[in-house]
């Protein structure tokens, strides 16, 4: 029989499969209702593999202190044999993980240690529902089996832990490499953007300001209207430069994040509640670049109007889907609404123009606040 057990073990590389392969051979020598191998895992913990009946023992690890075979695992005895483990305090002590014994009426039990190089590495355990089913002769036979099985299962368990460790290392390395690559790409993108902004400030804004300063300090007086026009042009150019930087935030972190950042900047220190709700799992970021940027510009302008003119205490941006794969973005506030005069100077015509350019529908409703709704196909390119 020992040769047959060794032959079957040599064909298996997983502990559960190995135990299942030899369980019928063990049952020929010592009949059982339930059999399991309990092995030391990490310090203070054991893991179990079962045959016959599947219980919680094989579903999760158990602390050694609460294991029904803790006396064996801790080397306090050489063997455990019980006529009725359901009433044996060695198995059913307070806090013991003994539910399988009680639930499946595993009365008769034998537990023998598995030793490798003199060290207890686990236990071999068999149980029978019949009280007093086992005797000392059965215990001796089980110990012989344990002596044979100990090095096999120790090696299989060590191999399993090595595979797990290798998997975790590989996963950790992949994650670290992904983070490193992502951080590198982000750093490169931000550096390129910083250089572009610096060049634009130097070549455009600084040159304009230098020309204005030269005109102011020159011999000929500068007309105030002309000066105001040049300053206004410089401000407009600077604003355009700033606006071109914002889509980078859109590209790097997505529509919802860019909108949230703009919301917080637009309200500043005012006590205004802001929120962004996206029910589409990022549908705006699946739009084409032109449509997504235009949608972001529309959202920006609507937020600016609400923050500057409405006196709102709450501004909400919501993203949802309509039937026929249409995307809806709504910017709403609880302010005073936009009157005709405010509407003319608040850039609403620009909103309509941007919406038309990407084939979107735009609706502006001023009733107990203002609601701007833009709707466009989700696959808009």
**149-187 per-position pLDDT tens digit:** 999 999 998 888 888 888 888 888 887 787 777 667 767
List beta partners, residue 330: 318, 373
Q: What is the SS3 assignment for 373?
A: strand
Q: Model confidence at 243, in pLDDT bands (50, 70, 90)?
A: low
Q: Give the model's pLDDT for residue 77.
A: 95
Q: For 4-22, what is the mean pLDDT?
A: 87
Q: Model confidence at 205, in pLDDT bands (50, 70, 90)?
A: confident
Q: Give the model's pLDDT for residue 248.
A: 67
**Domain end (from 168, 192, 223):** 168
The model's pLDDT over 304-347, given as tens digits with 9 standing for 90+, comes to 888 888 889 999 999 999 877 899 999 999 988 765 554 444 45
CB 342 within 8 A of CB 309: yes
Q: What is the CA radius of gyration of the chain?
A: 38
How far apart, in whole angstroms, are the C-alpha atoms of residue 339 and residue 278? Answer: 29
**Domain end (from 168, 186, 208):** 168
Tell me whether residue 235 is in a domain: no
Q: Model confidence at 293, in pLDDT bands (50, 70, 90)?
A: confident
Q: Give the model's pLDDT for residue 186.
A: 61
SS (H, E, C) 171-201: HHHHHHHHHHHHHHHHHHHHHHHHHHHHHHH
Q: Model confidence at 9, in pLDDT bands (50, 70, 90)?
A: confident
Q: Model confidence at 244, in pLDDT bands (50, 70, 90)?
A: low
The model's pLDDT over 360-372, given as tens digits with 9 standing for 90+, comes to 999 999 878 899 9
Asked if residue 271 and residue 128 are part of one domain, the reply reads: no
Q: Give the model's pLDDT for residue 180.
A: 77
Tell me whether residue 271 is in a domain: yes
Tell me whether residue 269 is in a domain: yes
Helix 255-267 / helix 289-309 crossing angle, nearest 10 deg: 20
Tell me whether residue 229 is in a domain: no
Asked if residue 162 and residue 277 are part of one domain, the reply reads: no
Predicted confidence (pLDDT) at residue 112 exceeds the cutoff of 80 = yes
Asked if residue 161 and residue 28 are part of one domain, the reply reads: yes
Predicted confidence (pLDDT) at residue 192 exceeds the cutoff of 90 = no
Q: Give the model's pLDDT for residue 230.
A: 84
Q: Give the model's pLDDT for residue 89.
A: 96
CB 304 within 8 A of CB 339: no
Q: HSE-up of 84 (CA within 13 Å, CB side)? A: 3
Asked if residue 276 and residue 162 are part of one domain, the reply reads: no
Poorest-confidence range of 136-140, 221-225, 377-381?
377-381
Q: Give the model's pLDDT for residue 187.
A: 73
Q: Give the model's pLDDT for residue 255.
A: 94
User: What is the CATH number for 348?
Assistant: 3.30.565.10
What is the span of the domain harbouring residue 143?
2-168
Asked if residue 158 and residue 273 are part of one domain, the reply reads: no
Start-to-end CA distance of the chain, whole Å, equals: 72
Asked if residue 278 and residue 159 are part of one domain, the reply reads: no
Q: Model confidence at 277, in pLDDT bands (50, 70, 90)?
A: very high
Domain count, the chain: 2
Q: Model confidence at 10, in pLDDT bands (50, 70, 90)?
A: confident
User: What is the CATH number for 132?
Assistant: 3.30.450.40
Asked if residue 163 and residue 14 are part of one domain, the reply reads: yes
**DSSP character at residue 57:** G
Tell me whether residue 223 is in a domain: no
Tell me whether residue 210 is in a domain: no
Write phi, then psi, for 78 (nearest 5 degrees): -95, -20
**Domain end (from 126, 142, 168):** 168
Q: For 53-71, what is the mean pLDDT?
A: 93
SS (H, E, C) 198-238: HHHHHHHHHHHHHHHHHHHHCCCCCCHHHHHHHHHHHHHHH
Asked if residue 163 and residue 18 are part of one domain, the reply reads: yes
Tell me whether residue 153 is in a domain: yes
How far apart, in whole angstroms, are the C-alpha atoms of residue 291 and residue 259? Answer: 15
How far apart, in whole angstroms, are the C-alpha atoms of residue 37 and residue 280? Answer: 50
Mean pLDDT, the chain, rounded, equals: 87
The model's pLDDT over 85-104, given as tens digits with 9 standing for 90+, comes to 999 999 999 999 999 999 99
Q: Give the model's pLDDT for residue 345.
A: 45
Asked if residue 160 and residue 264 are part of one domain, the reply reads: no
Asked if residue 269 and residue 120 are part of one domain, the reply reads: no
How far apart, in whole angstroms, are the C-alpha atoms of residue 37 and residue 124? Answer: 5
Token reading at 154: 């120790």
Asked if residue 282 and residue 142 are part of one domain, the reply reads: no
Predicted confidence (pLDDT) at residue 198 exceeds the cutoff of 50 = yes
Tell me whether residue 122 is in a domain: yes
Asked if residue 270 and residue 131 are part of one domain, the reply reads: no
């Amino acid at each position: 029989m020992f040769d047959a057990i060794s032959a079957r073990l040599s064909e298996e590389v997983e502990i559960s499969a190995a135990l299942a392969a030899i369980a019928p051979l063990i049952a020929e020598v010592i009949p059982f209702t339930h059999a399991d191998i309990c092995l030391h895992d990490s310090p203070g913990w054991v893991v179990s593999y079962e045959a016959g009946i599947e219980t919680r023992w094989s579903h999760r690890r158990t602390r050694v202190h609460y294991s029904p075979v803790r006396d064996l695992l801790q080397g306090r005895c050489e063997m455990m044999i019980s006529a009725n483990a359901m009433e044996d305090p060695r198995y059913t002590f307070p806090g013991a993980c003994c539910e399988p014994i009680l639930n499946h009426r595993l009365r008769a039990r034998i537990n023998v240690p598995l030793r490798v190089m003199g060290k207890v590495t686990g236990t071999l355990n068999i149980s029978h529902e019949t009280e007093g089913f086992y005797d000392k002769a059965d215990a001796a036979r089980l110990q012989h089996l344990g002596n044979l099985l100990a090095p096999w299962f120790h090696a299989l368990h060590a191999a399993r832990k090595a595979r797990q460790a290798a998997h975790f290392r590989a996963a950790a390395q992949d994650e670290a490499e992904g983070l490193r690559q992502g951080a590198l790409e982000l750093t490169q993108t931000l550096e390129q953007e910083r250089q572009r902004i610096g060049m634009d400030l130097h070549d455009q804004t600084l040159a304009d300001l230098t020309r204005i300063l030269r005109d102011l300090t020159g011999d000929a007086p500068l007309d105030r209207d002309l000066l105001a026009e040049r300053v206004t042009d410089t401000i407009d150019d600077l604003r355009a430069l700033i606006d071109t930087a914002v889509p980078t935030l859109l590209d790097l972190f997505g529509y919802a994040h860019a909108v949230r950042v703009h919301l917080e900047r637009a309200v500043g220190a005012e006590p205004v509640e802001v929120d962004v709700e996206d029910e589409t799992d990022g549908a705006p970021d699946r739009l084409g670049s032109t449509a997504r940027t235009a949608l972001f510009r529309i959202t920006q302008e609507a937020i600016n109007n609400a923050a500057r003119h409405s006196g709102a205490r709450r501004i909400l941006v919501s993203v949802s889907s309509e039937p026929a794969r249409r995307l809806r973005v709504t910017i709403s506030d609880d302010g005073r609404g936009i009157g005709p005069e405010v509407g003319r100077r608040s850039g609403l015509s620009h909103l309509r123009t941007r919406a038309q350019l990407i084939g979107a529908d735009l609706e502006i409703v001023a009733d107990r606040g203002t609601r701007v709704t833009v709707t466009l196909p989700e696959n808009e390119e």
